[in-house]
């Protein structure tokens, strides 16, 4: 994996926190406990120091009351927490109303990820691409910047007749990791796991999981919960790109309920 060395060992996904002790105390802000601010690290993009201390991150999409009542798709907002439940980042979608109404989950978007100092530390940009699996010439892609304006990697969809497959690349378009999902992406009563593997796909080194949230929430909202597990010693830039991969997977496979209702009402 080039300069992004890590021990590609099979993982048991036991759910342990894997968080080393820190000197600072957690920060309480407006009722939310934030992860302690880590010290600066040489050659680490500002704001990504948090990722050096964790091997697991949980993403919770906030439920929008307006969306539930009207079926009109609003901009998505997310909390990113560590295994201790402390908020690491807050993420918000930046799109206009017309784009959400016309393009639904296939829309282009920018997602801005903010740390507990209010800094935008990661920017995710997804261009508008064809969403048909039978069209291999214009597949999905996402660019990850950290900090904004500095490209650190890409998430690229790979064409496959049966499986959802992606490649995580660095800023030079060098392949670093592979992601493979199940043949049937259905979250009925169980989690849906996308395995993160080495480039040769011989070893599983992480996982992106869409968590089952219950019948009521799954039926009436498109607010999803995800868990990401990665090697502790994976380069923080690639951890940021894995977060981007999670958002792309959400929009491609799970962000459909409210969007279908909205477009049915429009058209």
Average model confidence (pLDDT) across the chain: 81
Domain 49-262 grouped into CATH 2.40.160.200: yes
- In terms of phi and psi (left: phi > 0; alpha: psi -120 to 50; beta: otherwise), the region of 99 is alpha
What is the pLDDT, as a whole number, of residue 1? 45
Instruction: Report pLDDT digits (tens) over 231-260.
Output: 999 999 999 999 999 999 999 998 865 444
The arithmetic mean of pLDDT across residues 150-179, rounded, is 95
pTM of the model: 0.82
Q: Residues 132-160: what's their mean pLDDT?
A: 87
Residue-level pLDDT at 260? 43
When pLDDT is cut at 50, 70 and 90, the band that residue 10 belongs to is: very low
Please list the helix, strand and coil fractions of the chain in percent, rounded to the nearest 5, in that order: 20, 30, 50
- What's the rounded mean pLDDT across residues 111-128? 95
* Tokens, residue 183: 């043949």
Q: Which residue has the higher pLDDT, 189 or 222?
A: 189
Averaged pLDDT, 83-112: 91
Percent of the chain with pLDDT over 90: 54
Domain ranges of the chain: 49-262
Q: Report the pLDDT value the prediction gives residue 131, as an integer from 0 to 100.
A: 60
Averaged pLDDT for residues 47-75? 82
User: pLDDT tier at 132 (50, 70, 90 boundaries)?
Assistant: low
- The candidate with the shortest Cα–Cα distance to 82, out of 245, 230, 187, is 230
Instruction: Identify the residue whose tokens are 């920018």.
Output: 110
What is the signed CA dihedral for 39, 41, 44, 48, rounded to 10 degrees? -20
Residue 24 pLDDT greater than 70, yes or no: no
Residue that wins the pLDDT comparison between 97 and 143? 143
CA 229 from centroid of its chain's CA atoms? 11
In sequence order, what DSSP letters do the residues of 53-113 get, joined into one string? G-SEEEEEEPPPHHHHHH-PPPPPEEEEE-TTS-EEEEEEEE--HHHHHHHGGG--EEEEE
pLDDT of residue 247: 96
Q: What is the pLDDT of residue 27?
A: 63
pLDDT exceeds cutoff 50 at 11: no
pLDDT interval class at 214 (50, 70, 90): low
Residue 75 neighbours by CB distance under 10 Å: 15
Give the tokens for residue 102.
């016309």
Both tokens of 29, joined, read 């802000």
Q: What pLDDT is attached to residue 22?
A: 43
DSSP track, 145-167 = ESSTT-EEEEEEEE--SSS-EEE
3-state DSSP assignment of residue 241: helix
Structure tokens at 266: 């429009």
Listing DSSP states for 1-29 in one string gives -TT-------------------SSPPEEE
- Under the banding of pLDDT at 50, 70 and 90, the label for residue 219 is very low
């Amino acid at each position: 994996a080039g300069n992004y060395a890590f021990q590609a060992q099979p993982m048991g996904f036991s759910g342990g926190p894997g968080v080393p002790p820190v000197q600072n105390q957690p920060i309480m802000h407006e009722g939310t406990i934030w992860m302690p601010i880590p010290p600066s690290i040489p050659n680490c993009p500002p704001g990504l120091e948090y990722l050096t201390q964790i091997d697991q991150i949980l993403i919770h999409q906030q439920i929008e009351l307006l969306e539930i009542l009207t079926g009109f798709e609003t901009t998505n907002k997310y909390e990113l927490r560590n295994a201790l439940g402390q908020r690491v980042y807050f993420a918000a979608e930046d799109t206009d109303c017309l784009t959400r109404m016309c393009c639904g989950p296939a829309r282009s978007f920018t997602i801005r990820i903010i740390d507990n100092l209010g800094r935008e530390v990661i920017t995710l940009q997804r261009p508008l691409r064809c969403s048909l699996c039978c069209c291999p010439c214009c597949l999905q892609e996402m660019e990850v910047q950290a900090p904004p304006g500095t490209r650190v990697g890409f998430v690229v969809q790979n064409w496959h007749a049966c499986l959802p497959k992606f490649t995580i690349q660095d800023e030079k378009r060098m392949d670093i990791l592979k992601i493979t999902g199940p043949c049937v992406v259905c979250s009925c009563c169980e989690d849906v796991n996308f395995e993160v593997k080495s480039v040769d796909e011989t070893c599983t080194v992480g996982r992106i999981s869409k968590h089952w949230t219950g019948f009521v929430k799954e039926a009436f909202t498109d607010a999803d919960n995800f868990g990401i597990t990665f090697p502790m010693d994976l380069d923080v830039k690639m951890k940021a790109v894995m977060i981007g991969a999670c958002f792309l997977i959400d929009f491609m496979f799970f962000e459909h309920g409210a969007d279908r209702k909205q477009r049915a009402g429009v058209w």
